[in-house]
Structure 1
């Protein structure tokens, strides 16, 4: 989204909040206080953030009397760092769960996950793609090749693990912004890419790349192509929840309405990808969507799969200590 559009959106949000406040000037102080604090939510511009984009555009937060500001960041790491530094109050779906976990280890008790976006071979977010004319048929065919991954420790660690477990020994992982993956493959700069949607769809639609394998984290990290990989999560900071318990509950309920809208009206919801992500035009109807699990929908099996994902980062020495997922889930 352009800076101008961001500015306009923020102005509209502020105007809405100001109008709401003006409407209750003659009311008791307790009513005026309901307009509450500004809630600053960081997001990474990928498809998985759709419930958040939808909730803003459909006015779900405004209906709840909330003033929500969407803050766009170049990567999931920056979203997490904004919460740690107090520049944001939470994260939208699509923010890397391992990035959030690294923040949690740095400052224990900071993040409470209230919604996660699981993906697998059916609900595709993650995939390995290759040039359309590549001879590669399996992951092992990328042995000794140069393979791109998105920036940041979560992407790089997962790319290396997928290649290693898929038999692509000796592959070199090259960090590249996800928006450059298709162009790098088309130009022959890399031989493959561990990437996230909509990259695979963009490459397929412009005829330059094809998917070698979808849902690779479920298969190679969790051991089952249909297992839920809770790769991205929406969260609020514990400090915000503690200081603003009512606003936090209203925010999570309004966000949940966004999740329900995406679940029940996915075709209509897709238009809200435009402006928040690089997805527009015919692409909005083609890009696969992640699934969503709210805090009160997690089953013991879900938590176990989530934990297995986190444990990979402990095993690789990226997490300095084992982090228990259950301690980070919002309890309502």
Structure 2
């Protein structure tokens, strides 16, 4: 088991040439009770504390799961990679929306058939999530004008890889993105530590409300990685482990139905669920009212075109030798 966890870390670390120790994942999740020993039917879902995980937050806070007769526990992790490591270790049953899809892809390489995706977050020029920001007082007008400048991005192989592609496509092939927590992006720009950042919402909204940053361009992954500004970029996904689906199929089906009901609640009553961002994320009450909420595509809503763009996204990681083999998106989608 620990060998599989280490493979997720080593696959990502080899690409970004960092030195995460092999035993880290086991230590990170050791505080969680092993599911194999659990005597209850609690469903533990890992999440990265960002806005995209709102179906899980709303589902817990508004008793969507409880009304379905389910006991669901939201388990917080510092990164998407840690969520996947916990899934491999058997400490959690799945991931909430917002968990980096590429991290799930790495998990599938470490343990083939690790999980099934039940919903994903599409973003593009209209559904705003990904963006390039600069300081409010800067004179930069285009991404191309940032050639040779200091570029920041969020932590993890998905963020670094995508930042590289964005700036390579804008005439800056030698870019070396500086990894930093997303929560530090606005401060880093304001302090002049970096000249621009590739980041995710709510960073742009935070910077705008504080008068410290401005958006240079949104929907950058769809435009520069997928080649179409309106193409859906499925950067984050909710999933369940194959082990859970096999061991408790009826319970898993009830959870999926309830989770999709939570997505429906988010889409139909956004004002009602916005306060749920407070507590689960670093977003405060004022920001919760302004931050763009994510879009959702459930497993049954994926079209061939959607799957094609999702696959194109994964293929980027294969082409860049981050994935050691091709990861087939279609086979990772849940089928009722």
TM-score (norm 2): 0.87
How do 1:1-332 residues align onto structure 2 when only pairs under 5 Å count?
37-332=41-336
Aligned partners of 2:164 and 2:173 also within 8 Å: no
* Matches of 2:171 and 2:116, distance apart in 1: 36
TM-score by length of 1: 0.88
Residues 47 and 277 of structure 1 are in contact (CA less than 8 Å); yes or no, is this contact kept in structure 2?
A: yes
Question: 2-side partners of 1:101 and 1:297: how far apart?
Answer: 20
CA distance in 1, matches of 2:152, 2:115: 30
CA positional deviation for 1:245? 0.4
TM-fit CA distance, 1:166? 2.3
In 2, Cα distance between equivalents of 1:81 and 1:215? 29
Task: Report the Cα offset of residue 36 of structure 1.
Answer: 6.0
Larger Rg: 1
SS of equivalent to 2:334: coil
Counterparts of 2:224 and 2:144 in 1: how far apart (Å)? Answer: 13
Query: 2: distance between equivalents of 1:172 and 1:188?
Result: 17
Secondary structure in 2 aligned to 1:94? strand
The structural deviation recorded for 1:290 is: 1.4
Return structure 1 stretches of 4+ with deviation > 3 angstroms.
none
The separation in 2 between residues aligned to 1:178 and 1:298, in whole angstroms, is 29
Deviation at 1:69, TM superposition (A): 0.9
Q: Secondary structure at the match of 2:91?
A: coil
1:19 maps to which residue?
Answer: none
User: After alignment, is 144-153 or 163-172 more displaced?
Assistant: 163-172
Aligned length: 298
State the distance in 2 between where 1:59 and 1:281 align: 21
Unaligned stretches of 5+ residues in structure 1: 1-34
What secondary structure, in the 3-state scheme, does the structure 2 residue paired with 1:130 have? Answer: strand
Paired residues of 1:178 and 1:199 also in contact (CA < 8 A): yes
- Tell me how far 1:329 sits from its aligned partner: 0.3
Per-residue deviation, 1:170:
3.1
> Gaps spanning 5+ residues in structure 2: where?
1-38
The Cα offsets for residues 209-268 of structure 1, whole Å up to 9 and x where unpaired, read as: 111111110100111111100000000000000001011001010000111011111122
